[in-house]
Amino acid sequence: MLNVLGSVAQFEREMMLERQREGIAKAKALGKYKGRRPTAREKAPEIRQMVAQGVSKREVAEALSVSERSVYRVLCG
């Protein structure tokens, strides 16, 4: 009985994801879906400049409203 319910749930999840992908593809075709704006990448020059001036990575993250992980990602990548 549980196997049947699990299979139905899995099938429904797959159908939902398929509908979502179709909707995203349709929106992209219409130019309405652009995804999330890369905020940390836009601030990369400021991040590098502040770190070069000796500001700690935590302070840089707080000052620019990005996560510490984003600061490290900009510096290492």
Shared domain check, 58 and 24: no
pLDDT at res. 41: 87
Shared domain check, 46 and 16: no
Shared domain check, 48 and 12: no
Shared domain check, 75 and 40: yes
Q: How many domains does the chain have?
A: 2
Reported as type and span, the H/E element at residue 10 is: helix 2-29
The larger pLDDT score, comparing residue 46 to residue 2, is at: 46
pLDDT at 40 over 80: yes
Shared domain check, 43 and 29: no
pLDDT at res. 60: 94
Question: Average of pLDDT values for 53-74?
Answer: 94
Could you give the CA distance from residue 37 to residue 77 in angstroms, rounded to a whole number?
18
Shared domain check, 24 and 49: no
Shared domain check, 57 and 25: no
pLDDT tens digit string along 10-35? 999 999 999 999 999 999 999 998 88
Cα 66 to Cα 20, 37, 53, 55: the distances in Å are 29, 13, 18, 15
Range of the domain at 27: 1-35
